[in-house]
Amino acid sequence: MADTSNLHGNDLPGAEHPIAEAWRMFRRNYAAMFGLLLLSVLVVVTLIGPLVYNVDPFEIVWAPLTPPGEEATAPLGTDYLGRDILAGLIHGGIATLAVGLAAALITVTIGLTVGALAGFYLGVVDDILMRFTEFFQVLPALMFAMVLVTLFSSSLVVVAIAIGVVSWPPTARLARAEFLRIRNLEYVAAARSVGAKNRRIIWRVILPNALPPLIVSATLTIGTAILFEAGLSFLGLSDPNTYSWGYMIGSGRDNILDAWWAVTLPGGMIFITVLAVSLIGDGLNDAFNPKLRER
Amino acid sequence: MHKFKSLTLIAALITGAVAATPIQAAEPVKGGTLVIGMTQKPRHLNPAVQSGTATAVPGTQVFATPLRFDENWRPQPYLAKSWSVADDGLSITLILRKNARFHDGKPITSEDVAFSIQTVKDNHPFKTMFSPVEKVDTPDANTAVIHFSRAHPAALLAMSSALLPILPKHVYGDGQDPKSHPANNNPVGSGPFKIVEFKPGEHVILERNPDYFIQDRPYLDRVIIKHYKDSNSLALAVDKGEVDMYPFVTNTRNIARLKKNANLEVTNQGYAAVGPVNWLAFNTKHEILNDKRVRQAITYAIDKNFIIKALHGGFSQRASGPVVPGSPFHAPGVEQYDLDLERANSLLDEAGHVRKDDDMRFKLRIDYLPGVAEQQKAIAEYLKPQLKKVGIEVEVRVAPDFPTWSSRVSSHDFDMSMDIVFNWGDPVIGVHRTYLCDNIRKGVIWSNTQSYCNPDVDGILAKAGVEPDAEKRAALYRDAQAIIVEEAPIAFINTLPYHTAYSKKIGNAPTSIWGTMAPLDEVYKTQ
């Protein structure tokens, strides 16, 4: 049997591979490249930083609420307990990025599964799954996440799951729309005509073609998830046993009038991360979307 | 020489002028409205069936008690013009004022006193206050004789402040449950002020009782107790002069901010009796914490000085034992557990908890009372890096709300917990409960949740509870505290930095042992 991926003609001789083409488009987008650069710097700082600046972020190093620039031991100042803000910024990144990634992964997994099944099978399956999705969609996301974290515990794993569980409906709707559109295209009919089974059509024919908008949405979800974690932390629902930027904001909030740096600096890191992720997401969107290509 | 003379003259004039001002201000002024701001909101205004500061502040204005206490812990006549304790300590005779009347005009009799003692005994959460009361005789309308099954020296203090409000029997004696009596929202008392309006969660408006049994008192026309949603907005209102008095300020940043305001006085007087102790409680049934050496080691490893000076800006005080400094039963001579990491390490080694490969000995969980972050959360988070220094890994467990925390601690499902517990004047009321073997009661918060049990301590506390001689009593409490502090079921840390901020227009600000939880009949306000 012929490989169905040939049916939509992307691999015709002489044509550029779609990934390479997207990358070419992406590179032309200065904003997106800037986002990629920012994110790379953040990832490097987060991964290598702790080895270079080896200070336990929980350790009390100097007098509490020391402003930045006053003391060499804590160049960016200390928080209300006297913990080093710089150590917190460097060590807290991993947890924050991990929560963002994990939550995005959960969002995409649930959203894609629900959306793909609903969009492909239609009928009763679609009705049930979409009512289920709407049920989640009408719940205020932040409130729902707060309830989950309060019910279980405020450990980082629960926070990631909670964020994932409350933010998948838009992804599901997007996936369903893509599947609905693609399932009626000729190459799907062609695949079916040569005897491809449903599973093969979903995995090998529709999914690869539905991916680009989903990748964009997943990228943006990372940013939303990081913001979400910061929001939960601000409400005091962060994990006090793992140093994250969100935890820094949550624990510094009470002293915001006396020590702006304890809240503003981790807030700035979150801002930069979310900005980088959003720029990359937009860049991917432009690169994948043929209608915008020669804009 | 001449020059020198004139200088001294000027100096004398200046000092004279300066000295003259307070003398003038010390002359009490009649009239005016005192606005008190509070964040604690009362559910109702009957302190006979409800403990806590929210009900006590308005409750002590509306209801008079047999006695009141000055700032030196001496009982003073109030509704009772005199009283006498029998030599064997088994009875107290109160002679009531003849002119005292309730706000509705009915006279106060010994029947009302007997009725009130019974109501408090049956309904108040502080069971130990009147549990030894056998009966109250009323030989005539102005004499009440309280008989005890055993000597009960704590009774005098339990007849002051909000602890024994004299209720009108003709209102509360109608057979309805006093805990849900309709009069609790619009109570009839005999105190210096009577109720005008109570809007739950918003304010309590009180006005001068013109028939108050103390002549020419109170000075103020009105007292308004306004309720604020949080301490920051209340502190702001005090700063702007919208509120004359803010009692129970706990947040040290607010204390520091209010102290900078030239129109305000800020004092920590008036909290000797309430006696709030901030402590780290150990679950002494825990497999590691059942060894007193481990508990002592942790206590040695806590830098109390850092907590008080750095975290609390120097506004809280060291508490080294069960009874707060400022109480006559305080024990200053107990082990102070000054920071000593070496000693902590060797105690842990001795207890058989050697450091493992990762340099850690064992792991413990810490809970904390949600609420005053600076006192509870901050110290719990501080202990994480601090105890790591002696090889103890600490996991902070967050409770999202009070019921979650209290159900964990009261069901003994905890290793260590930051907690605030109040002395409430006499050790019999607020201290015994934490240490008695028979008060290990699952499901009851602020009972002996540490599961600490030492029959010797029980014996000394039982003796101290009935010892009529104040000196001997204090000595017994010192003995008990020495044992408790040594065995360390609790690491005592500090007293809450309670402060009262009030406008400089206010004279005779309340500084007795009960502070604002006592009649404000002497307070006045200049214009």
Is the distance from CB of A33 to CB of A25 less than 8 angstroms? no
Percent of chain B having pLDDT more than 90?
84
Q: Is A256 in CB contact (< 8 Å) with chain B? A: no
Q: Is A113 in CB contact (< 8 Å) with chain B? A: no
Is the distance from CB of B136 to CB of B147 less than 8 angstroms? yes
Contact A56 B385 (CB under 8 A): yes
Average pLDDT over residues A131-156: 86
DSSP-H helix ranges across B143-272: 169-172, 231-239, 252-259
Largest CA distance in chain B: 84
Higher pLDDT among residues A161 and A70, named by residue:
A161
Average pLDDT over residues B325-335: 93
Cα–Cα dist A21/A221, whole Å: 24
Average pLDDT over residues B297-320: 94
Query: Considering only CB atoms, which chain B residues are within 8 Å of A60?
Result: 306, 382, 385-386
- Residue B31 main-chain phi, psi, to 5 deg: 95, 180
With CA atoms as reference, the chain B residue closest to A62 would be: B310
Cα–Cα dist B135/B435, whole Å: 28
Task: Please determine, for residue A205, whether its predicted confidence score (pLDDT) is greater than 70.
Answer: yes
Q: Judge if the upstream peptide bond of residue B22 is cis by omega within 30 degrees of 0.
A: no
Angle at B179 between CA B222 and CA B196, to 5 degrees: 15
pLDDT value of position B368: 94
Predicted ipTM of the assembly? 0.77
Contact B373 A254 (CB under 8 A): yes
Contact B374 A56 (CB under 8 A): no
Of B253, B310, B398, the CB nearest to A240: B398
Average pLDDT over residues B62-72: 95
Task: Please determine, for residue B516, whether its predicted confidence score (pLDDT) is greater than 60.
Answer: yes
With CA atoms as reference, the chain B residue closest to A80 would be: B311
Cα–Cα dist A21/A216, whole Å: 16
Query: Considering only CB atoms, which chain B residues are within 8 Å of A83?
Result: 385
Tens-place pLDDT, residues A232-264: 888 878 788 888 898 898 888 878 878 889 889
Contact A60 B386 (CB under 8 A): yes
Give A12's pLDDT tier (boundaries 50, 70, 90).
low
Give B95's pLDDT tier (boundaries 50, 70, 90).
very high
Question: What is the 3 state secondary structure string of B324-354?
Answer: CCCCCCCCCCCCCCCCCHHHHHHHHHHCCCC
Give A139's pLDDT tier (boundaries 50, 70, 90).
confident
Query: Considering only CB atoms, which chain A residues are within 8 Å of B303?
Result: none
Give A208's pLDDT tier (boundaries 50, 70, 90).
confident
CA-wise closest residue to B385 among A76, A55, A2? A55
Least confident segment among A19-28, B34-43, B254-263: A19-28
CA-wise closest residue to B380 among B391, B70, B369? B369
Query: Considering only CB atoms, which chain B residues are within 8 Å of A81?
Result: 311, 378, 381-382, 385
Cα–Cα dist A138/A44, whole Å: 39
pLDDT value of position B18: 43
CA-wise closest residue to B485 among B369, B361, B307, B318? B318
Task: Please determine, for residue B24, whether its predicted confidence score (pLDDT) is greater than 60.
Answer: no
Cα–Cα dist B390/B480, whole Å: 29
Cα–Cα dist B136/B116, whole Å: 10
Give A295's pLDDT tier (boundaries 50, 70, 90).
very low
Task: Please determine, for residue B16, whether its predicted confidence score (pLDDT) is greater than 50.
Answer: no
Q: Is A143 in CB contact (< 8 Å) with chain B? A: no
Task: Please determine, for residue B5, whether its predicted confidence score (pLDDT) is greater than 70.
Answer: no
Contact B311 A81 (CB under 8 A): yes
Query: Considering only CB atoms, which chain A residues are within 8 Å of B311?
Result: 64, 80-81
Give A290's pLDDT tier (boundaries 50, 70, 90).
low
Contact A60 B311 (CB under 8 A): no
Average model confidence (pLDDT) for chain B? 91
pLDDT value of position A2: 43
Contact A82 B386 (CB under 8 A): no
Q: Sheet of B264-267: strands edge to edge?
A: B193-199, B203-208, B222-227, B33-38, B245-249, B499-503, B264-267
Give A195's pLDDT tier (boundaries 50, 70, 90).
confident
Average pLDDT over residues B372-378: 88
Give B302's pLDDT tier (boundaries 50, 70, 90).
very high
Q: Is A127 in CB contact (< 8 Å) with chain B? A: no
Average pLDDT over residues B475-485: 96
Query: Considering only CB atoms, which chain A residues are within 8 Å of B306?
Result: 60
Least confident segment among A75-89, B296-310, B513-527: A75-89
Conformational region of residue B188, where left means phi above 0, alpha means psi within -120 to 50, and beta covers everything else: beta
Contact B385 A59 (CB under 8 A): yes
Tens-place pLDDT, residues B341-366: 999 999 999 999 999 988 999 999 99
Query: Considering only CB atoms, which chain A residues are within 8 Å of B397?
Result: 153
Distance from CA of B334 to the nearest CA of A (A): 28
pLDDT value of position A292: 56
Cα–Cα dist B420/B496, whole Å: 8
Average pLDDT over residues B324-337: 94
Of A60, A64, A154, the CB nearest to B385: A60
Tens-place pLDDT, residues B385-421: 999 999 999 999 988 888 889 999 999 999 999 999 9
pLDDT value of position B369: 92
Contact A241 B253 (CB under 8 A): no
Average pLDDT over residues A34-39: 92
**Which residue is listed with tokens 């679609």?**
A126
Average pLDDT over residues A261-286: 89
Contact B311 A237 (CB under 8 A): no
Give A11's pLDDT tier (boundaries 50, 70, 90).
low
Query: Considering only CB atoms, which chain A residues are within 8 Å of B400?
Result: 150, 154, 237
Give A156's pLDDT tier (boundaries 50, 70, 90).
confident
Of A60, A240, A257, the CB nearest to B396: A240
Cα–Cα dist A271/A277, whole Å: 10
Two tokens at A82? 């006297």
Task: Please determine, for residue B25, whether its predicted confidence score (pLDDT) is greater than 70.
Answer: no
Distance from CA of A273 to the nearest CA of B (A): 27
CA-wise closest residue to B100 among B85, B72, B81, B115? B81
Two tokens at B83? 């009283």
pLDDT value of position A15: 65
pLDDT value of position A291: 63
Which residues does B contribute to its contact with A (CB < 8 Å)? 253, 306, 310-311, 373-374, 378, 380-382, 384-386, 388, 395-398, 400
Two tokens at A266? 């981790």
pLDDT value of position B282: 97
Distance from CA of A151 to the nearest CA of B (A): 9
